[in-house]
């Protein structure tokens, strides 16, 4: 079994109004220097498979249900328990900053 993280964004050539709204709001809130903001979905789930079987399952699941392949693209990776965005820990930490 693997824990998989899937990131979904609108295709780069499409306008992302929500990202644009965040980008416009940030300077007024005191956070300058942020550009090209894109926002989408993040999923984390356990899948009972490994290797090629896992890759095939993720692809089928994404293309067939989780994303809209007409306007969205996704990227996935296998994560460890420590890499979960909802890691039971206290403070958030950078993975490789």
Q: Which residues bind a copy of itself (CB under 8 A)?
A: 2-3, 5, 7-12, 19, 22-23, 25-26, 29-49, 51, 54-55, 57-62, 64-66, 73-78, 83-88, 92-97
Find the shortest distance in angstroms from Cβ 79 to a copy of itself: 9
Provide, rounded to whole angstroms, the least separation between the CB of residue 15 and a copy of itself.
12
Beta bridge partner(s), residue 2: 47
Q: Which of 32, 70 has the CB closer to a copy of itself?
A: 32
Closest distance between a copy of itself and the C-beta of residue 67, in Å? 9
Pick the closest to residue 41 from 14, 1, 60, 68 (CA basis).
68
Q: Which is nearer to a copy of itself, 70 or 94 (CB)?
A: 94
Contact between 43 and 66 (Cβ < 8 Å): yes
Tokens of 79: 């994560």
Q: Which residues contact 43 (CB under 8 A, 6 or more apart)?
A: 4, 5, 6, 8, 66
């Amino acid at each position: 079994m693997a824990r998989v993280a899937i990131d979904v964004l609108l295709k780069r050539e499409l306008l992302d109004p929500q990202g644009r709204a965040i980008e416009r709001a940030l300077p007024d809130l005191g956070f300058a220097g942020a550009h090209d903001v894109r926002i989408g979905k993040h999923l984390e789930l356990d899948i009972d498979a490994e290797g090629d079987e896992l890759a095939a399952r993720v692809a089928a699941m994404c293309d067939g249900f989780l994303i809209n392949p007409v306007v969205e693209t996704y990227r996935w990776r296998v994560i460890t328990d420590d890499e979960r965005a909802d890691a039971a820990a206290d403070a958030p930490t950078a993975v490789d900053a």
